């Protein structure tokens, strides 16, 4: 699939239509959910945490809308609880082995490394499958083999190349995540280029180098008082390291979404590094000053900013009857969950094809 803008075909082609994501969450409303989740999780020694996660996810999904329709999260808390109990049992077994059978303990570490790609695939598949939009599920088709390449061999190759391969494997990871995601029968695609990712990392490296250069210059010029320069000079580099990390993360997110597509739909992300830094810093200060009570407020702020910066772009062309027949024939979608299928082309144009 080619993610480039579709060429004009026939007289039905018009200017692209831009559909922004909208987040309608309210801090006071979510605070009640958050505080109840926290109290019940503590009182049950963590057993309520799966229900807490499902309640949180359903709130954020339900208050995130696209073209007038919100998303759904359908995971079962009992399934999450079973997975967490298995993880706790594995950790307990590892602790026993390190205490009474220390020679076997390294085998557990090796087993975890081998199983990590499988855990990543299972987690992505679970999250996608239990996400829905207008009655249609998302899904993930990634395989263990590819996950092992990008998440095991990738970091190893990055170390062996002294970090030179990090942008390459970061690009391939994002491509793998996008290209193995589906919405109903339609598959996402990505035309993200390695060169673009290298450009982001080069700029981030330059910002990070300032974190070493400026403290060195300050110490050499004896700007600080004798005896304290060696202790305080490195602190002047921390903001540059932080800025470099936020810059790389923000720009990679923008590149991934801006180079992704679903059929003729494209995505656009306009997050900015200064705004993201401001959000992260003020959120951290708010959490520290409130002893954690402002965590709901920070989560609502971040969700609203991400939604405000993300759009779906699609051609304003009518939908062909063959495409409608393709989606109306899906046996696993009930007729009541297919509001986009209509005798009127204008009604259908407001549905699945956004």
Asked whether residue 203 is assigned to any structural domain, the reply reads no
Backbone angles phi, psi at 14, to 5 degrees: -135, -175
pLDDT in tens, 318-346: 433 344 344 444 444 443 344 433 333 33
Q: Are residues 83 and 126 in the same domain?
A: yes
Q: Are 127 and 60 in contact (CB under 8 A)?
A: no
Alpha-carbon gap, residue 193 to 153, rounded angstroms = 20
Asked whether residue 353 is assigned to any structural domain, the reply reads yes
Asked whether residue 161 is assigned to any structural domain, the reply reads no
In Å, the largest CA–CA distance within the chain is 81
Asked whether residue 10 is assigned to any structural domain, the reply reads no
Q: Are residues 354 and 296 in the same domain?
A: no
Torsion of CA 58, 60, 63, 69, to 10 degrees: -70
pLDDT in tens, 293-322: 999 999 999 999 999 999 999 876 543 334
Is the pLDDT confidence value at 347 over 80? no
Alpha-carbon gap, residue 51 to 266, rounded angstroms = 34
Q: Are residues 32 and 82 in the same domain?
A: yes
Which domain covers residue 328, as residue numbers?
317-354
Asked whether residue 59 is assigned to any structural domain, the reply reads yes
The per-residue pLDDT for 3 is 73
Is the pLDDT confidence value at 233 over 60? yes
Q: What is the tally of structural domains in the chain?
A: 2
Is the pLDDT confidence value at 354 over 60? no
Asked whether residue 215 is assigned to any structural domain, the reply reads no
Residue 109's pLDDT band (cuts 50, 70, 90): confident
Q: Are residues 295 and 345 in the same domain?
A: no
Q: Are residues 335 and 306 in the same domain?
A: no
Compute the 3-state secondary structure of the chain and give helix, strand, coil in percent, each to the nearest 5. Answer: 60, 15, 25
Q: Mean of the per-residue pLDDT values for the chain? A: 84
Is the pLDDT confidence value at 4 over 90? no
Residue 215's pLDDT band (cuts 50, 70, 90): confident
Residue with tokens 């720009």: 251
Q: Are residues 39 and 26 in the same domain?
A: yes
Task: Write the DSSP assignment of 107-163 as a string of letters.
Answer: HHHHHHHHHHHHHHHHHHHHHHHTEEETTEEEEE---HHHHHIIIIIHHHHHHHTTT
Q: Are 25 and 59 in contact (CB under 8 A)?
A: yes
What Cα–Cα distance (Å) separates residue 305 from each residue in 20, 141, 260? 12, 30, 20
At 96 the three-state DSSP class reads helix
| Among the listed residues 319, 317, 334, 341, the one whose alpha carbon sits nearest the alpha carbon of residue 7 | 317
Asked whether residue 173 is assigned to any structural domain, the reply reads no
The per-residue pLDDT for 159 is 92
The per-residue pLDDT for 216 is 75
Q: Are residues 296 and 329 in the same domain?
A: no
Distance of CA 322 to the CA centre of its chain: 33
The pLDDT of 48-66, averaged and rounded, is 96
| Among the listed residues 288, 289, 342, 287, the one whose alpha carbon sits nearest the alpha carbon of residue 319 | 342
Asked whether residue 163 is assigned to any structural domain, the reply reads no
Q: Are 48 and 37 in contact (CB under 8 A)?
A: yes
Residue 90's pLDDT band (cuts 50, 70, 90): confident
Alpha-carbon gap, residue 246 to 274, rounded angstroms = 9
pLDDT in tens, 243-268: 999 999 999 999 999 999 998 899 99
Alpha-carbon gap, residue 208 to 215, rounded angstroms = 12
The per-residue pLDDT for 91 is 87
Q: Are residues 23 and 58 in the same domain?
A: yes
Alpha-carbon gap, residue 354 to 187, rounded angstroms = 16
Give the rounded percent of residues in the chain with a pLDDT score beyond 70.
Answer: 80
């Amino acid at each position: 699939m080619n993610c480039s803008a579709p060429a004009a075909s026939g007289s039905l082609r018009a200017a692209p239509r831009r559909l922004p994501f909208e987040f309608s969450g309210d801090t006071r409303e979510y605070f009640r959910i958050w505080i109840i989740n926290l109290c019940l999780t503590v009182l049950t020694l963590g057993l309520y945490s799966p229900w807490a996660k499902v309640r949180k996810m359903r709130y954020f999904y339900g208050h995130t809308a696209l073209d007038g329709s919100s998303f759904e999260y359908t995971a079962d808390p009992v399934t999450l609880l079973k997975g967490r109990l298995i993880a706790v049992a594995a950790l307990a077994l590892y602790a026993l082995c390190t205490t009474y059978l220390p020679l076997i303990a390294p085998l557990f570490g090796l087993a975890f490394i081998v199983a990590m790609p499988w855990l990543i695939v299972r987690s992505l598949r679970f999250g996608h499958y239990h996400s829905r939009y207008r009655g249609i599920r998302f899904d993930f088709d990634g395989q263990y083999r590819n996950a092992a390449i990008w998440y095991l061999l990738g970091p190893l190759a990055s170390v062996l190349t002294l970090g030179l391969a990090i942008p390459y494997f970061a690009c391939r990871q994002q491509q793998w995540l996008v290209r193995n995601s589906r919405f109903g029968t339609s598959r996402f695609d990505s035309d993200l280029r390695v060169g673009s990712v290298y450009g982001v990392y080069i700029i981030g490296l330059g910002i990070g180098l300032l974190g070493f250069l400026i403290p060195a210059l300050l110490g050499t010029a004896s700007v600080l008082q004798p005896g304290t320069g060696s202790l305080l000079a490195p602190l002047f580099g921390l903001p540059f390291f932080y800025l470099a990390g936020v810059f790389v993360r923000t720009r990679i997110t923008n590149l991934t979404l801006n180079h992704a597509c679903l059929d003729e739909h494209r995505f656009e992300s306009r997050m900015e590094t200064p705004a993201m830094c401001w959000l992260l810093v003020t959120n951290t200060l708010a959490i520290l000053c409130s002893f954690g009570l402002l965590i709901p407020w920070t989560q609502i702020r971040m969700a609203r900013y991400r939604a405000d910066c993300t759009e779906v772009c699609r051609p304003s062309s009518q939908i062909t009857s063959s495409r409608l027949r393709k989606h109306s024939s899906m046996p696993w979608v009930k007729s009541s969950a297919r509001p986009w299928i209509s005798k009127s082309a204008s009604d259908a144009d407001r549905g699945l094809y956004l």
